[in-house]
Amino acid sequence: MIRVVVLGSKGRVGSQIVRGVRAARDLELAGEVDVGDDLAGVLARGRPQVAVDFTTPSAAEPNAEAALRAGAHAVVGTTGLEDTALRRLDTLARERRLACIVAPNFALGAVLMMRFAEEAARHFPWVEIVERHHEGKVDAPSGTARLTAERVAAARAAPKEPEGATEGAPGARGGRVAGVPVHSLRLPGSVAHQEVWFGGPGESLVLRHDAIDRAVYVPGVLLAVRRASLHVGLVQGLEAVLWPSR
């Protein structure tokens, strides 16, 4: 049995993770933490092997640090962590011989979408990303959109941009992540959606992923929980867990 503590246990995703852990035969819910709870006390009493964090960017780093110092692997689904924070967590995890798995998206379909986009970018140099989330999501672009753009940019040999294009309103052409235009929508009625648009002479290719229920993240999170002990240090992206030799 793998003992698991869930941080952000009353949140939109955290509550789904709690249910998933309880339903799993090989996992044991060792504790739940939400706003105002005593994290140090829960970690001390629960003695978890893995701590899962779905909270806020400001809380995720200290939460992961506390978990690592308590001897637990960290699985972080909170987006918006700065590179400096990730480097600090990597250093601490390596010192403790533990894993810190940080992924912008734990939906298996989203991970496959990013992998397919990376391949498509080798053949389609024209690309833009449109991502849509619920109105409560505070970071834009999303972590998934950022990671997709970075991988697309690394894969495509000759980026293409419109020549002489102007913006009648600032941001009309989207923000740029690694040179890739990214358009972010925040609307009620949305969960998590992303389209990667590729264009070529006489054709277009669209890769799309829709998360219509937050339960979609549970299988990926539980997979990371089960495989955390196979890693040491910072692991970025669920694909590194799915395909460790890639």
Active site residues: 133, 137
List the Cα angle 170/175/176 in 5-degree steps. 130
Phi, psi of 15 (to 5 degrees): -65, -35
For 93, other C-beta atoms within 10 Å of its C-beta total: 24
Rg (CA), the chain: 19
What is the C-alpha to C-alpha distance for residues 99 and 224, in angstroms, rounded to an integer?
A: 10
Written as one string, the DSSP assignment of 191-204 is -EEEEEEEEETTEE
The answer to whether the CB of 6 falls within 8 A of the CB of 33 is: yes
10 closest CA partner among 47, 56, 57: 56
What is the C-alpha to C-alpha distance for residues 171 and 176, in angstroms, rounded to an integer?
A: 9
